[in-house]
Structure 1
Amino acid sequence: MTTTLTEQQLAFTFADGVEPSQYDEWSFYRNQFNAVCGGTKAIDFVCLDGDHLWLIEVKDYRRHRRTKLVDLGDEVAGKVRDTLAGLVAASCNANEAEEQRMARQALGRSRLRVVLHLEQPRNPSRLFPRAVDPDDVLLKLKQRLKAVDSHPRVVDQSTLDADMPWTVAGVAR
């Protein structure tokens, strides 16, 4: 059975046999881990697929410009770091059995993949320019995350790779 999760104006449909979860909505993250060390950040989705743990961050700048001053690559790298730490803590201390089980399963995977799903205006204009250069973000992610995933990916709806066990469609507002 497929699972569909929505983030911003995008619906992610995961293939049969794949176990996705909206990590930033976990009770453990929100109620226990978020305040650790003065605050943490979270990746949008964790996804278990065979021997792979996919960490997926979603950014949709088609309707709203990026307003944060921090570099997008640095922001995503920090979320990856905090999410991995959160999964370790959840595997031991999560109050919800399902979150603890998923964290333990995630940590047992032998392959870790990081994906930034980045949607931007197809036809940039002055009103809706491209928020970031995907190639610049990819280079920053490779530099920051080489010990985690030496081949992170920056994709959008039209550039998903065949080995990614999900599809993405826009959601009507």
Structure 2
Amino acid sequence: MSIVIQEGNLSFSFDFEAIKFDDTPYYRNHFIKIKNGISAVDILAVDNNTGYLIEIKDYTYQDTENLKLNDLVEAIVNKVISTLSAILPMKNNSNNTAEKNIAHSFSSANEIKVFLHLELSPPTSKLEQSTWSFQKIQMKLKNRLKPIDAHPKIVSMKYPNHFSWIVTKI
């Protein structure tokens, strides 16, 4: 079984259960309407009793807007918390079997891992994102997400950090 999920110019290939969470009918048609400011991670995946929350940020586009590091961290924390709060009702209330199954698998997982897949703008760029350090982002996320995942991972195509899926540029 190979599941391919496309996000922008990146393609993610999984050999285990995964969905593009922020595009699911349950999230789009029901959960997002609860409150302004709710957002979700891009991919929800489950493998061997480990649940993965994967957020994808690709700042290699020409029209990328400048962003402060603290704003990125705040957005990711919000997405992780919102996604986690959507999984239980999705498991119980979704009309889509695939959504219900992965929500059930994720709810039964023994461990949750948070991944930020980050493609930075070139160092010659005038964007603040071109100067970001993976270690600094990881430290800030670790401080904020410690009750959920004490060791969130920041990865990219250049620095894959041994994740369990394949990422290619389209």
TM-score if structure 2 supplies the norm length?
0.90
Map 1:27-106; keep pairs closer than 5 Å. 27-63=25-61, 64-68=63-67, 71-106=71-106
Aligned-residue CA RMSD (Å) = 1.8
Give aligned-pair identity as a percent. Answer: 29
**Residues 66 and 131 of structure 1 are in contact (CA less than 8 Å); yes or no, is this contact kept in structure 2?**
no
Q: Distance in 2 between matches of 1:106 and 1:126?
A: 39
Return 136-145 or 74-83, whichever deviates more. Answer: 136-145
Relative to structure 1, the CA distance from residue 73 to residue 39 in structure 2 (aligned partners, 3 Å threshold; closer, same or farther) is closer
Q: Distance in 1 between matches of 2:65 and 2:152?
A: 21
| SS of 1:112 mapped into structure 2 | strand
Q: Distance in 2 between matches of 1:148 and 1:124?
A: 32
Aligned residue type for 2:5 = L
TM-score if structure 1 supplies the norm length?
0.89
Aligned to 2:123: 124
Aligned to 1:111: 111
| Alpha-carbon shift at residue 65 of structure 1 (Å) | 2.8
Relative to structure 1, the CA distance from residue 95 to residue 77 in structure 2 (aligned partners, 3 Å threshold; closer, same or farther) is same
Q: Deviations over 1:11-40 (max 9, x none)?
A: 11113xx11110001100000000213341
Q: Distance in 2 between matches of 1:20 and 1:11?
A: 13
Aligned residue type for 1:34 = I
| SS of 2:30 mapped into structure 1 | helix
Q: Deviations over 1:40-73 (max 9, x none)?
A: 1010001111111011000000124344566111
| SS of 1:34 mapped into structure 2 | helix
**Residues 61 and 119 of structure 1 are in contact (CA less than 8 Å); yes or no, is this contact kept in structure 2?**
yes
Q: Distance in 1 between matches of 2:5 and 2:38?
A: 22
Q: Distance in 2 between matches of 1:53 and 1:126?
A: 35
**What runs of 5+ residues in structure 2 fail to find an aligned partner?**
none
**Residues 73 and 141 of structure 1 are in contact (CA less than 8 Å); yes or no, is this contact kept in structure 2?**
yes
Aligned residue type for 2:93 = N
Out of 17, 20, 31, the position equivalent to 1:19 is 17
State yes or no: 1:169 paired with 2:161: no
Aligned length: 167
Runs of 4+ in 1 over 2 A off after TM superposition: 64-70, 126-129, 131-136
| Alpha-carbon shift at residue 141 of structure 1 (Å) | 0.6
